[in-house]
Amino acid sequence: MMMDQQRGRRDYRDQGAMTERVVRISRVSKVVKGGRHLSFNAVVVVGDGEGHVGIGMGKADAVPDAVRKGATNAQKNVIFVNLKDNTIPHEVIATYGASEVMMKPAAAGTGVIAGGAVRAVVELVGIKDILTKARRSTNPVNTVKAAFKGLTMLKDPEAEMAKRRHLVENPPPRRQQRGSQRRR
């Protein structure tokens, strides 16, 4: 696994443990001088069921090529999601475009309560118990991106409390104000 320094993401192209799921395939056309040029868009989600998930889009003249390109792009965008047992550590609401996705942790045995687009993302992460609701626009492309954004917003509560406790105990030194800024 190679680590991309700028984004903090791992490259999973060489691993075969990732499962891919096609969320949506759209036929799109472009009007050109000789008529219409047809191609296909595919939104693909990949995940290993152990906290890693990625989303990607591919466009090609044939469906299998679009799906392959989408899976390749998804593997480039894999992130790690903080999980607590079989659910998420806290509630999160994320928006992307006009779509809004709300995700709540659920008790053991609840299962995945989610629509098709959000379900694909959540199941491939490895979450077994979660409550979700897609509000406003339910366009699958934006809904998947909103769910992905929501998963990136999840933080480990214990680690966050430790960071905040450290800041309270060891506050950063105050910056000296310049004399010119204080004068009126």
- Chain segment 50-79, per-residue pLDDT in tens: 999 999 999 999 999 999 999 999 999 999
| pLDDT at residue 182 in the model | 57
Smallest Cα–Cα separation from 148: which of 130, 122, 126?
A: 122
Smallest Cα–Cα separation from 113: which of 47, 98, 122, 152?
A: 122
Q: What is the pTM of this model?
A: 0.83
In angstroms, rounded to a whole number, what is the distance separating the alpha carbons of residues 100 and 38? Answer: 31
Q: Which residues pair with 38 in a beta bridge?
A: 29
| pLDDT at residue 17 in the model | 86
What is the identity of the amino acid at 114? A
- What is the rounded radius of gyration, in angstroms, for the C-alpha atoms of the chain? 21
In angstroms, rounded to a whole number, what is the distance separating the alpha carbons of residues 43 and 53? Answer: 14
| pLDDT at residue 3 in the model | 45
**Structural domains in the chain, sorted by start:** 1-80 (3.30.160.20), 82-167 (3.30.230.10)
What distances in angstroms separate CA 7 from CA 3, 4, 10, 79, 139, one per listed residue?
9, 6, 9, 10, 27
In angstroms, rounded to a whole number, what is the distance separating the alpha carbons of residues 147 and 133? Answer: 10
pLDDT mean by block of 10 residues, the chain; 184 residues: 45 68 96 95 96 96 97 96 93 96 96 94 96 95 96 92 91 77 57
* Residue 24 near residue 40, CB atoms below 8 Å: no
Say which residue the tokens 């626009």 belong to.
Answer: 137
| pLDDT at residue 16 in the model | 58
